[in-house]
Structure 1
């Protein structure tokens, strides 16, 4: 049973074009709920903190750079502990579910939700839903305690297991009611957060005192609004190992080509950042930047020139790049509804071999490396571990304060509560007319493989979208739909 989300966004406006895109609260549909003092004020761990609680009116600006005559833009509610909470500790019955693909940091978030609820708020009843959303009505659960999750952050994957595919919303909410669950923490990408949004709408329709909080993750970093998704730093760091191996192999042979395929179904952030970080890459190919193979300015010509100049070439390609060059399987989908991609890495590496051996009569030594599942399966690094802790705590504070129907994440370095529709309405993608992509082109010295007229047209299109995104008419605020750009 699918419940459509037809409700208007919860928006408040103020002077100078200020717009707050707020998140739902339990009192929006259950009035006169009692409140309780936040137990953090008696927690010894927080006794050293000068200010226990976040001001209820604090917000976080989506755009940190504005022009002096432009509107102040969109804000989101700042995350953090509130002075009053809407749940007593012994009343809370929480659950955690992981859905979609694996990502470094999932176990860390699970651990920190369990430990945070227990140590900060005294919550003892926490369930893990095994096997994704279908685990709710398949009755697959495990009790989670700080002892159970003590060292799971040292492992890759998720101890709760995961799944892709459709689910029955009505059955899920029936199970939530039957079990007496009142806080749901959902970990997953944009498809998972869309599912969480639908579950929240059904919970609200039934008038249940149940919080639905999303912690978005995708290794591709394609969730909009937030600065980055957890696991991304780990993925970039691990991707460098594969690039380094490709570089060593390429240098070791005459006309050596190291070819590395990385994750990036629709967004090339891992490929771009790993390329910039490694500094050993001669060519980076991503979904956002079309390329062609033959003819003047094409990929083959560039590879041949680099081989003659340096004796070797290192190429990085995101899995979604060049799909338009392959004709098979374009309309097939996986269980989550994502388009099934062809293996562009294997296809292109074979085409490069054929081109140089048959047409150019050159002997090349190509080594193909695909570290996808090795990267997805590793534990998160130190940076992501700290980040996962902040995400988990922000979600807990929001749930205890009665906020619901939200995803949590950093916006300009400050954690905020973001309405579900904002993190699912589009994908965050590399802007190839932005400075970060220009830095990559400068670092690799590769051509853009784009016709200059197309580049200029793309710039005009994005400038128009940016301008339209600043317009405010009455209470209707339209945010720019161009992709979120990496911060300067």
Structure 2
């Protein structure tokens, strides 16, 4: 391993996801294992420019592996988008004696890291922390498994009410650009229909499907909708359309929203975070930079940050077919 790195900084940025704390813990303890210093950056790139740093050691991250959110906080930063802002950030890191950076986040976080490296040749490694699972180069992003479990649990509870009152529920889950949460949670919760950005079902086909469900004897239904689905302008527009065209349905809407980001991370996400943190630090020590750590077929991998940003995770076509069969 290269021995010119004496201090690594770690930060979380963008939307929070369950497992971020576990990833920070792993980075810190891997640094301790290799006898190098670790610095935590509060509030992402914004805190970097403010010099909002804290020294971290193995004991300072105890008791956080099971905590949701991120104790290092997260913030958007317009200042870091400017050349002047990045110069300030670089100056603050240099003054603090930081030699390399681990960034935990999604597309925006990685884009900032790439730009920072290009301008200052500053070593960076990314850990994909986003519940949407929308980054190429890893089978699962940090927080996705927990978000799925949260969504399924919520849909199960909504179904109890749907069944009790003979209602149709449109349940909106997160997924602005991809439908991973909607597809997996929909299959897992036994939804009657699943609407995702990748498959334009069309409003008429949806109505026909709901009519078939009613004719077959179903008294209640659940339709899981990814927030980025293209059928209507919003899930509430879908509700209004069904109200107008299928009078026999009593329709309700439930938007799960940010509850999917919160909560204690699942065991899977805790283990994934631990593996990613070790891989990130040891990659930097081995002289690697501008990579994102991930898992492919459960093997740790490195993907160039540029490819991770430009790529788009692919929806599981086989699971789409399974969902169609299950809704028969």
What TM-score, normalized by structure 2, do the two folds share? 0.92
Q: Which runs of 4+ in 1 moved over 3 A?
A: none
Q: Which residue of 1 aligns with 2:105?
A: 188
In terms of fraction of residues, the more helix-rich structure is 2
**Counterpart-to-counterpart distance in 2, 1:230 and 1:444:** 30
What per-residue deviation string (whole Å, max 9, x for no partner) do you get for residues 203-234 of structure 1?
22xxxxx4211111221111112111111111
Mapping of 1:5-404 within 5 angstroms?
85-87=1-3, 92-118=6-32, 120-123=33-36, 125-166=37-78, 167=80, 168-204=85-121, 210-254=122-166, 256-278=167-189, 280-294=190-204, 298-309=205-216, 310-322=218-230, 325-326=232-233, 344-356=234-246, 360=247, 362=248, 364-404=249-289
What per-residue deviation string (whole Å, max 9, x for no partner) do you get for residues 265-322 of structure 1?
11001111112222x210000011113223xxx2122212212321111110000002
Q: Aligned residue pairs: how many? A: 322
CA 179–351 in structure 1, closer or farther in 2 if over 3 Å, else same: same
**Counterpart-to-counterpart distance in 2, 1:262 and 1:156:** 19
Question: Is the CA contact 1:246–1:259 (under 8 Å) kept in the aligned structure 2?
Answer: no
**Counterpart-to-counterpart distance in 1, 2:297 and 2:267:** 21
What per-residue deviation string (whole Å, max 9, x for no partner) do you get for residues 146-198 of structure 1?
22211122221111111224313222222222222102110010121111111
**Counterpart-to-counterpart distance in 1, 2:263 and 2:252:** 23
Question: Is the CA contact 1:93–1:181 (under 8 Å) kept in the aligned structure 2?
Answer: yes
**Counterpart-to-counterpart distance in 1, 2:119 and 2:90:** 7
Q: 3-state SS of the aligned residue for 1:276? A: helix
What TM-score, normalized by structure 1, do the two folds share? 0.63
Mapping of 1:469-488 within 5 angstroms?
none
Higher relative contact order (CA 8 A, sep 6+): 2
Q: Structure 1, unaligned stretches of length 5 or more?
A: 1-84, 205-209, 327-343, 446-488
Question: Is the CA contact 2:16–2:129 (under 8 Å) kept in the aligned structure 1?
Answer: no
**Counterpart-to-counterpart distance in 2, 1:142 and 1:347:** 47
Cα drift, residue 87 of structure 1: 2.0
**Counterpart-to-counterpart distance in 2, 1:248 and 1:259:** 14
**Counterpart-to-counterpart distance in 2, 1:104 and 1:374:** 11
Cα drift, residue 416 of structure 1: 1.6
- Bigger Rg, structure 1 or 2: 1
Q: Which residue of 2 aligns with 1:420?
A: 305
Question: Is the CA contact 2:46–2:76 (under 8 Å) kept in the aligned structure 1?
Answer: no
Question: Is the CA contact 2:22–2:274 (under 8 Å) kept in the aligned structure 1?
Answer: yes
**Counterpart-to-counterpart distance in 2, 1:355 and 1:100:** 40
Cα drift, residue 113 of structure 1: 0.8
**Counterpart-to-counterpart distance in 2, 1:238 and 1:313:** 20
**Counterpart-to-counterpart distance in 2, 1:116 and 1:165:** 28
Cα drift, residue 259 of structure 1: 2.1
